[in-house]
Amino acid sequence: MPLSYRLDAEDRVVALGGAWNRMSWENGGPDDASSNVLDHSLWRFISDPAMSGFLRQVFQLSRDTGQAATLDYRCDAPGLLRYYRMIVTPKSDGILVVDHEPLAEALACTSIRLPPGESAVRICGQCSRVALKGWHWRRFPALPRPRDLPRKVVLCNDCRNPSRDPADASASTRP
């Protein structure tokens, strides 16, 4: 989901746009996060010194040159790998608008669990998708090691039926 915030010349968050509360909740935080962010310095929320130092440089450069800056980053939630693009747009009086656009997301292999009453997860031997609930197949960027999770190699419905384009199968892999 796209998110944005507006910073004044002192990097104080003066406006928010997008589903901040839902994002916070997905990340394991409170569901009323936006009220805790507004009117506070952005640096209060970025605890990693390397990250805040890097962002300060990006903001400074953008203010000095009047040019927008773009950087891609990863921001995971529990069980979910997420990639975002950050776009910093300078406005007048040192104001910056910072947009965060989702690029891609994928389920993490830690969200693969044994279905109740089964002794192994079913993994398609051809496309490597995993049957999560019944015969609902999802693709994961990585799979747990066999000794961590018992598995049974089978063929999914798409791979068993060669008349279907395997590319169609990827459409059902988004969360």
Q: Is 23 in the site for Zn ion (CB under 5 A)?
A: no
Name the pairing type of β-strands 69-74 and 80-90.
Answer: antiparallel
Q: CB under 5 A: which stretch of 18-26, 99-107, 115-123, 127-135 binds Zn ion?
A: 127-135
Which residue in the set 124, 130, 131, 140 belongs to the binding site for Zn ion (CB under 5 A)? 124
Among all chains, which residue has been given the structure tokens 């950050």?
A: 86
When asked if residue 154 is in the footprint of Zn ion (CB under 5 A), the reply is: no
Measure Cα distances from 10 to 16, 45, 63, 110 in Å. Answer: 16, 15, 12, 40
CB of 172 to Zn ion, least distance (A): 11
Query: Of 27, 104, 103, nearest to 70 (Cα)?
Result: 103
Burial class (CB in 10 A: 0-12, 13-18, 19+), 168: exposed
Give the residue with the Cβ less far from Zn ion, 86 or 156. 156
Alpha helices in 7-165 (DSSP H): 20-26, 33-37, 49-65, 157-160
Nearest distance from C-beta of residue 125 to Zn ion, angstroms: 8
- Kindly state the smallest distance separating residue 55's Cβ from Zn ion, in Å: 42
Whichever of 63 and 129 has its CB closer to Zn ion, that residue is 129
Site for Zn ion in 132-151 (CB under 5 A): none
Quickly tell me which residue has 């999770």 as its tokens: 149
Q: Assess 130 for contact with Zn ion (CB under 5 A).
A: no
Cβ distance to Zn ion smaller for residue 79 or 125: 125
Residues that bind Zn ion (CB under 5 A): 124, 126-127, 156, 159
